Amino acid sequence: MQKELTKTLVFQLDIDEGDPLLLSEAFLESRRAFNETLRLDREGRDWGEIEDTVAKDANLVQNTAQQVVSKAQDALENYYDNDDWGMPWYHHDEFPLPMNYGEGYNLFLKDNGTVRFRISAKPYKQVKGELRGSPDQFNRLKTAMTDDGWRVGTAEAMQKNGRFELHVTVTYEQATVRSKTESDTVVGVDINEDCVALAAFTDDTIEDSVVIDFPEIKEERHRFFTMRKRMQKHGQTAFNDQYRDKEQRFVHDQLHKVSRLVVEWSQRFDRPVIVFEDLKGMRDDIEYGTRMNRRLHSLPFTKLRDFISYKSAWTGIPSDDVEPAYTSQRCPRTECRHTTRGNRHKKRFKCQLCGFQDHSDRKAAVCVVQEWFKKQHENVPALNTLPQVRKWELRRQASGPVDGPTVTQHTDRGHHADGVAGVSD
Ligand SMILES: [Zn+2]
């Protein structure tokens, strides 16, 4: 199967031709065009008309201006579709400059191995210089510039911590992902708002399982949600986008780390396929008291699933979906399969018919695997023994920044069924 994959590479800009102030002015102009799009939308103007007016008036390269307008319209559309983050606010902070390759910006590979850039900050006004970055980022960029199958895409110029940066997207057009039916190991994934549980099976043998806890995502989302509401109530809209960006960055960052752990863990096994529940709506078997709970759950779920299948595809690992079908309520023992809401009490699963007990999310991951075997018309693994539940926890270091997670491991004891006792690994 062929799949298209995109990555963002980050470089610093070492400007040696043209006035760096031109770039700063372009950021301001880009922000103005973004905010103007939001403002005209609030006035109820037609989107086609907004696009024409704003893009024409902006003192930017034409398709750069168009990209800014579509960014603002994407934000609005996102809001009108699901109201997940609230109405988009006017930007007061630095705003990036989006550009098309070969138009708003260009890159030149030099004989000595360096890469020169040219950015059209304004029509006919350019800044030029050399890219700086890690060898890893340069290798990827050079591959994208020279190899068939790769292409360089849009980029964003921005200012971060007083330095100019260029974020370049590169796309690999033909990553080969193995067919999911040619898999030897099935990794079932159960995503929750505070953890993800994984269970790997080869035919009817459980190879391993783990629960990765990420309690801070839920905590942070609650905190930001409350803060945002309070600020909105007091009309402090200026701070709002900063908090929202901070929250999004934090959640994004944490979910990336979790997804990396999931893919690394899956790579331990022979020819794995990663299987998710296909949750179009919300799970039918969890009580959602409030709309807020639904929101809190839905974001990690879809984002994490996207990150995992994306990262696994880079390593050639396929992913698949199964129908949810009460995976969290059903007893996983093939001779029992008793399904009732009462089987589950938060993180503890206890079958009311046969007495089977387990960590409820690990068990749900096992049920996902069983569903997958069923979908392939293969024998559903009979559960005679399950290993002890191993747990990893993703946390920030107390004093450190967001990108210093600690993964701690421990084994959760005392969750074993009578007669189906766990075997320690
Ligand atoms: Zn049972």
Q: Is 268 helix (H, G, I), strand (E, B) or coil?
A: coil
Q: 342-349: long-range contacts at Cβ-Cβ below 8 A with a sequence spacing of 24 or more? A: 344/285, 348/415
Distance from the alpha carbon of residue 357 to the mean position of ligand 1, in angstroms? 9
Residue 276 tokens, joined? 């998710």
Of 219, 218, 224, 229, nearest in space to 246 by CA: 224
10-residue mean pLDDT series, the chain (425 residues): 79 96 94 94 86 90 90 81 68 87 93 93 93 91 88 93 93 81 93 90 90 87 75 67 73 88 95 85 46 54 84 89 82 90 90 93 93 87 80 67 49 39 32
End-to-end CA distance of the chain: give it in Å, rounded: 35
pLDDT at 124: 86
Half-sphere exposure of 284 (CA within 13 A, CB side): 11
Distance from the alpha carbon of residue 331 to the mean position of ligand 1, in angstroms? 5
Distance from the alpha carbon of residue 265 to the mean position of ligand 1, in angstroms? 29
Does the CA dihedral 31-165-15-106 come out positive or negative?
negative
The rounded distance, in Å, linking the Cα atoms of 301 and 191 is: 6
pLDDT at 231: 74
Residue 238 tokens, joined? 């200026």
Token look-up 């609650």 returns 222
Distance from the alpha carbon of residue 329 to the mean position of ligand 1, in angstroms? 10
Distance from the alpha carbon of residue 337 to the mean position of ligand 1, in angstroms? 6
Distance from the alpha carbon of residue 350 to the mean position of ligand 1, in angstroms? 8
Token look-up 């979910």 returns 255
Of 420, 424, 422, 421, nearest in space to 335 by CA: 420
**Tell me, which fold does domain 180-412 have in CATH?**
Nucleotidyltransferase; domain 5 (3.30.420)
Residue type at 21 in one-letter notation = L
Distance from the alpha carbon of residue 385 to the mean position of ligand 1, in angstroms? 13
The whole-model pTM stands at: 0.64
Token look-up 């509401």 returns 229
Distance from the alpha carbon of residue 353 to the mean position of ligand 1, in angstroms? 5
Residue ranges in 178-236 assigned as alpha helix (H): 215-233
pLDDT at 238: 59
Token look-up 């629960």 returns 211
Distance from the alpha carbon of residue 318 to the mean position of ligand 1, in angstroms? 31
Instruction: Please list the residues that pair with 262 across neighbouring strands.
Output: none
Radius of gyration of the chain (CA): 25
Domain spans of the chain?
A: 2-176, 180-412
Distance from the alpha carbon of residue 332 to the mean position of ligand 1, in angstroms? 7
Residue 365 tokens, joined? 């991951």
Distance from the alpha carbon of residue 336 to the mean position of ligand 1, in angstroms? 5
How far lies 9's CA from each of 99, 116, 141, 164, 255, in Å? 14, 15, 7, 14, 19
How far lies 308's CA from each of 3, 152, 192, 317, in Å? 15, 23, 14, 10
- In this structure, the strands spanning 97-99 and 205-213 are unpaired
Q: Starting at the earlier edge strand, list the strands of the sheet with 357-359.
A: 344-345, 348-350, 357-359
Distance from the alpha carbon of residue 380 to the mean position of ligand 1, in angstroms? 15
106-130 core/surface letters (b: 16 or more CB in 10 A; e: else): bbeeeeeeebbbebbbbeebbbebb
Token look-up 């895409």 returns 153
The rounded distance, in Å, linking the Cα atoms of 27 and 422 is: 59
Q: 401-404: long-range contacts at Cβ-Cβ below 8 A with a sequence spacing of 24 or more? A: 402/249, 402/250, 402/253, 402/254, 403/253
Of 142, 299, 329, nearest in space to 214 by CA: 299
